[in-house]
Amino acid sequence: MHVTVIGAGLAGSEAAWQLAQRGIDVTLREMKPEKKTPAHETEYFAELCCSNSLRSDQLENAVGLLKEELRRLGSLILQCADATRVEAGGALAVDRHGFARMVTEQIRSHPRITVVPGEVTEIPEGEVVIASGPLTSDALAERLQALLGADTALHFYDAAAPLVTAESVDMDKAWFGSRYDRGTADYVNCPMTEEEYDAFWKELTCAQEAPVHGFEDKMVFEGCMPVEVMARRGHDTLCYGPLKPRGLKDPRTGKEPYAVVQLRRDNADGTVYNLVGFQTHLKFPEQRRVFSMIPALHDAEFLRYGVMHRNTFLNSPRLLDRYYRLQSQPRFSFAGQMTGVEGYVESAASGFLVGVETARRLQGKPPIDFPRETAIGALGLYVSNPSVTVFQPMNINFGIMPPLDHRVKGKRNKNAELSARSLAIIDQIKQEVREA
């Protein structure tokens, strides 16, 4: 039994690992290092192109639940993320290069996985998992378009935030802390007065953007909104988004500032930080000029400027089943962001489910029912739901899971019970899921 997996990102790496762990021989096709997309910098698998955060690790948050489900079920991505985590309050953030390096080493050392470098320009015969990502090469994209039909692919624009050196941040004008003092004090908080924010906002809204072919604000996915696009929506929009001061009291004044820019550690050594929520497609000189108006960043050393690129995803409700298989040709499965799941953990979850179910199908075993009460199941069922008429990329959220059958006071308490219900189901099916 053999499967070809195209793409060694988060989803492809997870799918290949789950297949191999279940006794399936895998050929993993990855075009790096021979060819890279504009968003990739290293030769490693599972490279994180945007933030280094896998978001909340709390069970009162849907993505925290999804991570815990994957942990209990033996996810490679979660194993490597936990092993390379850097402190980020209640979030799971990782050492960007350490994480990707560990995934790569695990994949390359598995006896059942053969890595074949180079661009895929033709779709292979046999069982195929296509996890080539939102920046699928033009040649493969053309083959997929021919396979799927002319009206099956949509696109939106995605953006990455800048990175700065820790030593270049003026700590006389910033402080370490986490919102509402939860967890450890892992974020560098850069406050702004109303006058400082007003000047910053005005320059941000009129700063020069880098040319992006066909770019329009309406094509920006809400979950990865460039900071300048968000700013143009209104003077205080940023203050309710990435610059929200709630729960962040400046220890020097004892009060919440008018606005706060947060920096999150990007590597284990704590020498590199990223500007949280500052995805952007401004020209590089404009990024330096405008972002240096943040008082604590007046002399910031930028190691990487923000970049923007087009993401492509499928009209999955018309094409895929709940296990991410192509309904018209079940030998093909898709995984990752190109299915319309949005986020690192969601991509890994789709790869996990594809790997598990493809192996079971090849071994003559029935599929495992991940119900909508679980985060893994809810995501697959949403992506494949034919009643979804206007399909957009979706992060995991409790809104796509069935409500409780009883009232619970308080959102956090309700979410905690939703998570407990899900994890009880996961524990019941865990042994069956993990069997080789």
Known binding residue 149? Answer is no
Among 14, 306, 275, 277, CA closest to 160: 306
CA distance 165 to 14: 32
What is the H or E stretch that residue 426 is in?
helix 411-434
Pair of tokens at residue 27: 């050929």
SS3 96: helix
Known binding residue 8? Answer is yes
374 DSSP assignment: S
Neighbouring C-alpha atoms within 13 Å toward the C-beta of 17: 31
260, β-bridge pairs: 191
Known binding residue 199? Answer is no
Phi, psi of 206, rounded to the nearest 5 degrees:
-115, 10
Q: What is the signed CA dihedral for 382, 158, 65, 404, rounded to 10 degrees?
A: -40
Known binding residue 10? Answer is yes
Known binding residue 11? Answer is yes
CA distance 38 to 28: 21
120-123-125 Cα angle (round to 5):
125
Instruction: Name, in order, each residue with C-beta under 8 angstroms of 319's C-beta and a sequence gap of 6 or more.
Output: 148, 152, 326, 327, 328
Sheet arrangement for strand 85-86: 53-56, 91-94, 85-86
CA distance 82 to 101: 14
Neighbouring C-alpha atoms within 13 Å toward the C-beta of 162: 26
Known binding residue 306? Answer is no
Neighbouring C-alpha atoms within 13 Å toward the C-beta of 268: 10
Task: Show binding-site residues for FAD.
Answer: 7-12
Task: Show binding-site residues.
Answer: 7-12
